């Protein structure tokens, strides 16, 4: 009597679980122990993808081409004897589609700053597979450790404007697991906020007082002129 077929092992023999479009991957399915012939069937989300018969103890090899987002997800294989019902299922392998990142946007809540002020810069790439790693620059020099974001949210750094040299050009870059793709952001510059003179509030206050005096004097003139006019009649 043949041995009972055992749960097969599904393994990746070519490629990676993080895949890009047009990538080929090869999966191996093998049941040990088991007596040939054995029929191996590959499934994706419980839908049959392909089937192979093996008359020896060699594994069944399934080659896939990732041509769309529908080709990623969970895969399993099933081993069964040709003339039997039932069968055993393997472990699962889950493919994730890698997407290239979009150009990040560098921004700040304020574009004006003055010496002694704290400011923030945020860098955000709207599209691309997570996680995304961001790095901030001033000119060509990095100004912070790289920040890896596991969620789709902006990376934020805090800066202290200490001198005029801090008003240079800032940029950030972003990259993820998609091979050989790095995107740089727009350039961002803080402008120096004009510092108001301490004498300005005093001048404005004196001007308002003078204006009120003139208005008051103009309103009071009729009260002085009317009695004088009557007295002269």
For residues 80 and 148, state if they share a domain.
no
pLDDT of 227 = 64
* The domain boundary residue, chosen from 97, 120, 155: 97
Distance CA 63, CA 43 (A): 13
Q: For residue 179, how far is the Cα from the chain centroid?
A: 16
pTM for the full predicted model: 0.64
Distance CA 76, CA 42 (A): 6
For residues 113 and 83, state if they share a domain.
no
33 in a structural domain: yes
* CATH of residue 128: 2.60.40.10
- Bridging pattern class, strands 18-19 and 23-30: unpaired
For residues 131 and 162, state if they share a domain.
yes
pLDDT of 100 = 93
pLDDT of 27 = 98
For residues 85 and 132, state if they share a domain.
no
Number of domains in the chain: 2
* The domain boundary residue, chosen from 29, 64, 97: 97
Distance CA 112, CA 189 (A): 9
For residues 162 and 179, state if they share a domain.
yes
- Bridging pattern class, strands 112-113 and 191-192: parallel
Q: Per residue of the chain (233 residues), what is the pLDDT tens digit?
A: 455 788 999 999 999 999 999 999 999 999 987 667 899 999 999 899 999 999 888 999 999 999 988 999 999 999 998 766 678 999 999 999 999 999 999 999 998 988 889 999 999 999 999 999 999 999 999 999 999 999 999 999 999 998 888 888 999 999 998 988 999 999 999 988 875 544 456 667 787 888 887 887 777 777 665 665 556 56
Distance CA 87, CA 48 (A): 14
Instruction: Tell me the residue range of the domain where 59 lies.
Output: 9-97
For residues 65 and 129, state if they share a domain.
no
């Amino acid at each position: 009597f043949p041995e009972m077929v055992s749960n097969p092992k599904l393994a990746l023999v070519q490629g990676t679980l993080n895949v890009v479009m047009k990538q080929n991957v090869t999966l191996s399915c093998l049941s040990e122990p088991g007596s040939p012939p054995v029929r191996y069937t590959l499934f994706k989300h419980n839908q049959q993808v392909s089937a192979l018969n093996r008359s020896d103890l060699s594994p069944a090899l399934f080659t896939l081409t990732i041509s769309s987002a529908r080709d990623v997800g969970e895969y399993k294989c099933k081993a069964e004897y040709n003339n039997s019902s039932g069968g055993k299922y393997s472990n699962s392998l889950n493919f994730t589609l890698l997407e290239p990142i979009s150009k990040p946007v560098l921004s700040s809540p304020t574009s004006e700053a003055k010496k002694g002020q704290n400011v923030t810069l945020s860098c955000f790439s709207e599209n691309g597979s997570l996680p995304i790693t961001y790095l901030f620059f001033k000119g060509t020099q990095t100004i912070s450790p790289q920040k890896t974001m596991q969620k789709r949210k902006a990376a934020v750094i805090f800066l202290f404007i200490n001198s005029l040299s801090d008003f240079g050009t800032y940029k950030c870059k972003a990259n993820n697991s998609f091979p050989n793709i790095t995107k740089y952001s727009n350039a961002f510059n803080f402008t120096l906020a004009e510092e108001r003179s301490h004498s300005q509030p005093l001048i404005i206050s004196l001007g308002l007082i003078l204006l009120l005096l003139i208005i008051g004097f103009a309103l009071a003139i009729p009260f002085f002129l009317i009695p004088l006019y009557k007295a002269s009649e």
